[in-house]
Structure 1
């Protein structure tokens, strides 16, 4: 049985990512793989929040104010 692996290839435009991963890894006291997993698991929460904010910003004013004519 082979071990499964995921490899992260970082382009030159994102050359700061390995250092960021290292810093978060030390801060969370996790391995690099577990640090990436924690970040990915947390990602949907801010994404959903941003979606709700954008929906509210795009509503017509009549719906925001119930007494609007």
Structure 2
């Protein structure tokens, strides 16, 4: 049985990504494939966190200027 694989082709305009993956894989002490998998798994959590922070900032911004009129 053959292993399935996904190839990541990085264009020349994004050539810094290969260096970033290398740095993160050393930092996480993981293979490059596992590093990319960890980043992809963390991405939805990052988006949810960003959304919560933006909502909190919007609420606090509204409180600051609610008495301005």
Runs of 4+ in 1 over 6 A off after TM superposition: none
TM-score by length of 1: 0.73
Higher normalized helix content (fraction of residues)? 2
How much does 1:12 deviate? Answer: 1.5
Q: Which runs of 5+ in 2 are unaligned?
A: none
**1:25-44 equivalent positions in 2, closer than 5 A:** 25-44=25-44
42-51 or 23-32, larger mean C-alpha shift: 42-51
Aligned to 1:51: 51
Aligned residues: 66
